[in-house]
């Protein structure tokens, strides 16, 4: 079994484009993560993650605080450097597949007092498609308005974002992802601190996307509702504890291994690596 392991900074990889990731990965998966390790200030936060997300599935990523869930999404999108590992999106390397991925960050990552309207935020989803130096045109705004309509916020298009409730802010972010019309969407806690009506609406949209063959990987903050919303679940705590169809994975034993106290040896080794320093 061949393993492509490469160690280095940034996205320093060994053999890259076209390389097989090994027989244990399905080539048809929407997202293929092979041996991903990520460190923060020299201290590993994700150890050797292997993960396949099949197409057309709605997958929940759950784990305790500090488990590395947001880190995993960011590393997949190469927003943070990784120590090792390879990522394939829809069978292609990331830089070829950027147009096919949408990312919904956490709500707190943004200053909601920024002088911009809801419609402008949604239109940002098209910036990648519009390209550098070109303007946002009427047809782009029309697409943005359509996306707002799908999340039920068409009448709030002209509103300044500081006047939105938490649920409306989340739906704005979701509309921005919808307008990208991506095959694979990565969402970071989209249901955190939203009202019940918004939660229902968002889950409805995700299910509708799944029925159209799209793939969603969702970091979910609330363990009890995870089996209600997702077909597949990934249990993460600095390493993948279990992943697969919900019924198979969501067992008491797996939950205990994920949430019931960390692997202290692993934590101590991570701390020792961090103390040694030398790695960014």
Q: Residues in the site for other proteins, rule: CB under 8 A?
A: 77, 79, 95, 98, 101, 103, 105, 109-111, 114-117, 120-121, 124, 127-128, 130, 132-133, 135-136, 160, 162, 176
**Total number of residues shown for the chain:** 280
Q: How far apart, in whole angstroms, are the C-alpha atoms of residue 241 and residue 54? A: 18
Q: 209: Cβ–Cβ under 8 A, 6 or more apart, which residues?
A: 58, 185, 216
Radius of gyration from C-alpha coordinates of the chain: 19
Query: CB of residue 235 vs other proteins: minimum separation in angstroms?
Result: 25
Choose between 104 and 234: whose C-beta lies nearer to other proteins. 104
Return phi, psi of residue 98, to 5°. Answer: -55, -40
CB of 265 to other proteins, least distance (A): 28
Q: How far is the CB of 94 from other proteins (least distance, A)?
A: 8
- Name the residue nearer to other proteins (CB basis): 110 or 242: 110
Nearest distance from C-beta of residue 115 to other proteins, angstroms: 5
Q: Give the up-direction half-sphere exposure of residue 138: CA atoms within 13 A in the CB hemisphere.
A: 0
Nearer to other proteins, 3 or 95 (CB): 95
Which CB sits closer to other proteins, 77 or 223?
77
Sort strands 31-40 and 84-89 into parallel, antiparallel or unpaired. Answer: antiparallel
> How near is the Cβ of 219 to other proteins at its closest, in Å?
14
- Reference 150, options 116, 179, 118, 184; nearest CA is 179
101 or 156, CB closer to other proteins?
Answer: 101
Q: Which two tokens stand for residue 14?
A: 């060994």
- How many helices, marked H, and strands, marked E, lie in the chain? 11, 9
Shortest Å, Cβ 117 to other proteins? 7
Q: Is the Cβ of residue 48 or residue 120 nearer to other proteins in the bound state?
A: 120
Of 256, 267, 277, 279, give the one whose Cα is nearest residue 68. 267
Comparing CA positions, the residue from 162, 183, 151, 14 lying closest to residue 82 is 14
């Amino acid at each position: 079994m061949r393993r492509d392991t490469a160690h280095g900074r940034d996205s320093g990889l060994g053999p890259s484009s076209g390389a097989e990731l090994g027989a244990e990965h399905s080539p048809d998966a929407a997202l293929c993560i092979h041996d991903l390790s990520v460190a923060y200030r020299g201290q590993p936060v994700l150890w050797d993650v292997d993960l396949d997300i099949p197409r057309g599935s709605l997958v929940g990523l759950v784990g305790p605080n500090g488990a590395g869930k947001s880190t995993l999404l960011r590393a997949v999108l190469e927003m943070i450097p990784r120590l090792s590992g390879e990522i394939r999106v829809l069978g292609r390397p990331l830089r070829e597949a950027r147009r096919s991925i949408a990312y919904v960050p956490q709500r707190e990552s943004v200053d909601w007092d920024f002088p911009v309207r809801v419609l402008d935020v949604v239109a940002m989803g098209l910036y990648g498609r519009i390209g550098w130096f070109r303007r946002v045109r009427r047809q782009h705004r029309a697409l943005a308005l359509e996306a707002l309509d799908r999340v039920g916020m068409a009448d709030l298009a002209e509103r300044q974002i500081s006047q939105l409730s938490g649920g409306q802010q989340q739906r704005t972010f979701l509309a921005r992802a919808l307008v990208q019309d991506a095959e694979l969407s990565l969402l970071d806690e989209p249901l955190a601190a939203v009202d019940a009506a918004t939660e229902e609406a968002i889950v409805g949209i995700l299910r509708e996307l799944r029925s159209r063959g799209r793939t969603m990987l969702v970091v979910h903050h609330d363990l009890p509702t995870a089996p209600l919303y997702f077909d597949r679940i990934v249990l993460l705590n600095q390493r993948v504890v279990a992943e697969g169809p919900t019924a198979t994975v969501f067992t008491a034993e797996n939950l205990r291994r994920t949430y019931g106290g960390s692997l202290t040896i692993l934590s101590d080794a991570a701390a020792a690596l961090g103390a040694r320093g030398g790695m960014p």
